């Protein structure tokens, strides 16, 4: 009798998992369906360009502050940590600058920045589009015969894809500055050693690799939260929940793509 | 004239509209009435193509909307004005920009012409001195009126309003009703209005469709409605104490 019950439980569990998997594929399918509409030809180019500039300012330029602050701090912190872990006099002093530089170039300024941007820009996109959805503003566009997906989402995707590589460069730059300022002040490294270190064994491909990653991440950071906003149903509460879901899912996808791209492009 | 022929619509196996057929006439205010959740909004959105119907067809002056390709549909939609339940004004645009939006999208008028048209529409709904305000800065009644102004900006042949006076005080509600009726007469539009407000029914119900649980239950006009012997409709009308009293005194 007991066996029978466990068997039923297992069957129920299996069905649950299957329905989860089905849901996953449902979302993937609907996401690509949405992208299909997003990349349809825009209706009025002039309006579209105006929207694009607005989004570049709204999503990109307004993120410069946080990128600069975070990068300055992380650059400084990394320099101190590298100096600490390489305090053995056998290691060349150059390693500190090199470590800071390569970490910024390879991983921090691309991936970590994308994760931060997913939190900042992503939640902004979901809540903006989501609240337009639940207040029927999107229906309103559709009634007028406007492709709402393209009108609302395309400028955002293009703006973020353009801006993320720019933010990457800014982040690397300010991260290095952070190290340059902090290291000597804390007294773990001299200015000269640091400057020599960040030029030592420089590999330009690291930057290329990260710029390519930034393009992918930019696409994810804009399109995934847009998806969650575009299909939200209900009211303000659901919009809030959708924002959270959007950020979590975007973060997971960024890390997944980071893994895939690193495997493909770096090894 | 809009003809709805035998349409059905279900969501996840739940039949929300059942074999609905009705004709909405030109130059008059057609009302769809019914309780909350009876399917009014779904019917309206199905007519507009925001929901694809499962069965049946919809004709706009003889043009088969259901089997139209996307391109022709888009063209036809420019003849449609819609006022959503909450107004659905674009938050990021001012009152003026909201009304100008359809003009920007679909006409090649000069800024001067657009400006004139915007002023014309706003005047018609009695909005002055609010051009530069954002939707969040004006009252609910004004939002509805701006939404109507945006709805008529392209001089539509068909006007749809989803509960245009819900959430408004009785006086403003009456004003909005007569505004819609006047505009309908002036521009000869085919106007369809969703409402559960009996005052609107009595004021402007030139043609009334009563639906209950997604089915057509009664059809007529405001003179016939109070004399109906349809039990479901009676329950709906006389749920309101005032009308119940009125009925008793008769
Ligand atoms: N997009 C949808 N998905 C599933 N069910 C819906 C959807 N829209 C409406 N419904 C259901 O259809 C029924 C009628 O809703 P609606 O037309 O909005 O009623 P009302 O007459 O108040 O406008 C309700 O039971 C509602 O839950
Ligand atoms: Mg409704």
Q: Do A70 and A174 lie in a common domain?
A: yes
CA nearest A220: which of A33, A70, A31, A64? A31
The alpha carbon of B166 and the centre of ligand 2 are apart by a number of angstroms equal to 10
Q: Are B158 and B60 in contact (CB under 8 A)?
A: yes
Q: Which residues contact B98 (CB under 8 A, 6 or more apart)?
A: B89, B90, B135, B146, B150
Q: What pLDDT score was predicted for residue B247?
A: 73
Q: What pLDDT score was predicted for residue B181?
A: 94
A201-230: pLDDT as tens digits: 888 999 999 999 999 999 999 999 999 999
The alpha carbon of A95 and the centre of ligand 1 are apart by a number of angstroms equal to 65
Closest ligand 1 atom to Cα of B40: 21
Q: Do A224 and A145 lie in a common domain?
A: yes
Q: Do A115 and A174 lie in a common domain?
A: yes
Angle between helices A2-38 and A204-230 (to 10 degrees): 100
| Contact check, Cβ <8 Å, A144/B73 | no
Token pair in block for residue B92: 């990021």
| Mean local confidence (pLDDT), B1-27 | 94
| Mean local confidence (pLDDT), A150-167 | 96
Q: What pLDDT score was predicted for residue A27?
A: 94
Give the burial class of A120: count Cβ atoms within 10 A of its Cβ; 0-12 exposed, 13-18 middle, 19 or more buried.
middle
Q: Considering only A53-57, A153-157, A262-266, B163-167, which range has the smallest mean pLDDT?
A: B163-167
Please tell me the number of Cα atoms within 13 Å of A86 on its side-chain side.
19
- Backbone angles phi and psi of A144, in degrees to 5: -75, -5
pTM for the model: 0.87
B182-199: pLDDT as tens digits: 999 999 999 999 998 888
- Backbone angles phi and psi of B221, in degrees to 5: -135, 180
CA nearest A174: which of A186, A163, A166, A184? A166
Predicted ipTM? 0.87
Q: Do A3 and A56 lie in a common domain?
A: no
Q: Do A11 and A104 lie in a common domain?
A: no
Q: Do A209 and A262 lie in a common domain?
A: yes
Token pair in block for residue A146: 């406007």
Residue A232 has pLDDT above 80, yes or no: yes
**Residue B11 DSSP one-character state:** E
Q: For the beta carbon of residue A144, count every other beta carbon within 10 angstroms.
A: 24
CA nearest B160: which of B80, B72, B76? B80
Domain boundaries, position A173: 44-266
Q: Do A20 and A48 lie in a common domain?
A: no
Q: Are A96 and A189 in contact (CB under 8 A)?
A: yes
Q: Do A74 and A173 lie in a common domain?
A: yes
From chain A, pick out residues whose CB is under 8 angstroms from the CB of B101.
Answer: 144
Q: Are A182 and A76 in contact (CB under 8 A)?
A: yes
Q: Do A71 and A105 lie in a common domain?
A: yes
Q: Which residue of A has its CA nearest to B156?
A: A144
Q: Do A68 and A189 lie in a common domain?
A: yes
Residue B241 has pLDDT above 80, yes or no: no
- Kindly write down the DSSP assignment for every residue of B34-69, as one continuous string: --TTSSHHHHHHHHHTSS--SEEEEEETTEESTT--
Tell me the nearest-neighbour CA distance from A238 into chain B, angstroms: 18
**Matching residue, tokens 């800065």:** B137
Q: Give the distance from CA A166 to its chain's centroid.
A: 13
| Contact check, Cβ <8 Å, A144/B102 | yes
| Contact check, Cβ <8 Å, A145/B77 | yes
Q: Do A63 and A102 lie in a common domain?
A: yes
Q: Are A201 and A140 in contact (CB under 8 A)?
A: no
Q: What pLDDT score was predicted for residue A1?
A: 58
| Mean local confidence (pLDDT), A38-59 | 88
Q: What pLDDT score was predicted for residue B124?
A: 87
Mean per-residue pLDDT over chain B, rounded: 91
Q: Do A158 and A258 lie in a common domain?
A: yes
Please tell me the number of Cα atoms within 13 Å of B132 on its side-chain side.
1
Q: What pLDDT score was predicted for residue B221?
A: 92
Query: What is the count of structural domains for chain A?
Result: 2
The pocket of ion ligand 2, defined by CB under 5 A, consists of: B 41
What residue's CA is closest to ligand 1, atom 27? B37
Which pLDDT band, with edges at 50, 70 and 90, does B71 fall under? confident
Residue B168 has pLDDT above 90, yes or no: no
| Contact check, Cβ <8 Å, B86/A135 | yes
Residue B246 has pLDDT above 80, yes or no: no
From chain B, pick out residues whose CB is under 8 angstroms from the CB of A144.
Answer: 77-78, 101-102, 105-106
> Residue B135 and residue A26: Cα distance in Å, rounded?
36
Which pLDDT band, with edges at 50, 70 and 90, does A26 fall under? very high
Q: Which residue of B has its CA nearest to A146?
A: B74
Mean per-residue pLDDT over chain A, rounded: 92
| Contact check, Cβ <8 Å, B88/A136 | yes
Which pLDDT band, with edges at 50, 70 and 90, does A2 fall under? low
How long, in residues, is chain B? 250
Q: Are B232 and B212 in contact (CB under 8 A)?
A: yes
């Amino acid at each position: 009798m007991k066996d029978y019950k466990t068997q039923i439980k297992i069957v129920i569990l299996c069905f649950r998992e299957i329905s989860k998997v089905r849901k996953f594929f449902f979302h993937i399918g609907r996401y690509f369906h949405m992208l299909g509409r997003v990349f349809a030809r825009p209706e009025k180019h002039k309006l579209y360009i105006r929207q694009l500039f607005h989004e570049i300012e709204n999503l990109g330029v307004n993120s410069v502050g946080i990128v600069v602050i975070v990068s300055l701090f992380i650059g400084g912190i990394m320099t101190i940590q590298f100096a600490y872990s390489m305090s053995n006099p056998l290691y060349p002093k150059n390693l500190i600058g090199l470590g800071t530089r390569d970490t910024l170039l390879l991983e921090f300024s691309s991936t970590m920045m994308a994760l931060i941007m997913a939190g900042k820009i992503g939640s902004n996109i979901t809540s903006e589009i989501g609240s337009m959805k639940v207040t029927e503003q999107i229906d309103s566009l559709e009634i007028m015969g406007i492709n709402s997906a393209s009108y609302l989402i395309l400028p955002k995707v293009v703006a973020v894809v353009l801006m993320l590589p720019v933010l990457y460069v800014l982040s690397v730059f300010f991260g290095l500055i952070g190290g340059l300022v902090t290291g000597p002040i804390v007294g773990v490294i001299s200015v000269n050693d640091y400057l020599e270190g960040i030029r030592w064994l420089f590999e330009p491909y690291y930057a290329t690799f990260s710029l390519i990653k930034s393009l992918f991440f930019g696409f994810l950071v804009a399109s995934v939260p847009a998806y969650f906003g575009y299909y939200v149903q209900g009211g303000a509460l659901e919009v809030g929940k959708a924002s959270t879901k959007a950020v979590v899912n975007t973060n997971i996808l960024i890390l997944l793509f980071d893994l895939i791209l690193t495997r493909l492009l770096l090894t | 004239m809009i003809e709805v022929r035998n349409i059905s619509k279900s969501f996840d196996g739940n039949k929300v509209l059942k074999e609905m057929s009705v004709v909405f006439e030109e130059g008059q205010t057609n009302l769809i009435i019914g309780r909350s959740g009876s399917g009014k909004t779904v019917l309206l959105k199905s007519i507009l193509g925001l929901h694809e119907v499962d069965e049946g067809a919809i004709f706009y002056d003889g043009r088969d909307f259901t089997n139209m390709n996307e391109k022709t549909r888009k063209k036809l939609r420019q003849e449609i004005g819609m006022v959503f339940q909450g107004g659905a004004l674009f938050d990021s645009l001012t009152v003026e920009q909201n009304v100008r939006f359809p003009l920007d999208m679909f006409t090649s008028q000069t800024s001067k012409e657009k400006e004139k048209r915007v002023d014309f529409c706003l005047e018609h709904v009695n909005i002055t001195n609010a051009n530069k305000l954002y939707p969040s800065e004006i009252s609910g009644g004004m939002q509805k009126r701006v939404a109507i102004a945006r709805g008529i900006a392209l001089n539509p042949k068909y006007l749809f309003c989803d509960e245009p006076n819900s959430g408004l005080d009785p006086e403003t509600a009456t004003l909005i009703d007569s505004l819609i009726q006047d505009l309908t007469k002036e521009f000869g539009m085919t106007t369809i209005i969703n409402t559960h407000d009996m005052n609107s029914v009595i004021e402007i119900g030139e043609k009334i469709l009563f639906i209950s649980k997604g089915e057509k239950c009664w059809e007529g006009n405001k003179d016939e409605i109070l004399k109906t012997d349809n039990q479901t409709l009676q329950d709906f009308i006389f749920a309101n104490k005032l009308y119940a009293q009125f009925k008793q005194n008769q």
